[in-house]
Copies of this chain bind each other. A is one copy, B any other.
Amino acid sequence: MVKYRTLDGTFGALANPTRRQIILRLRDGEASVGELAAPHRMSLPAISRHISVLEDAGLVFRRKEGRQQYCRLATSPLNEIDAWLRRFRDVPEMATEETKKGTR
């Protein structure tokens, strides 16, 4: 049930602290759903769905092994949003962030 990978999906998947923590954990290598759930004080179904969201966004691959499901990080969507961000690399940002108190 993998949905279409889009910037919407990727940004949306990352707009949640639990999901960001999960993929940060996955930098260190594969983990089962249970292992991913352990650090969070949240029900397993909740974590299961977070993982599904990450999977739909193409950020996580699953591999079944016995009764466990091992999750692995996929970084290509991250590269896509990184590429999108590069479009702002050369924007002439207002130097000092003067909110309006300044010279006017």
Contacts and interface: CB of A to CB of B under 8 A. Distances in A.
A1 interface: no
A99 B61 contact: yes
B8 A11 contact: no
Contacts of A7: 14-15, 17, 20
A interface residue count range (under 10 / 10 to 19 / 20 to 34 / 35 or more): 20 to 34
B88 A74 contact: no
A85 interface: yes
A87 B27 contact: yes
Interface string A42-55: 00000000000000
Contacts of A97: 74, 76
A75 interface: yes
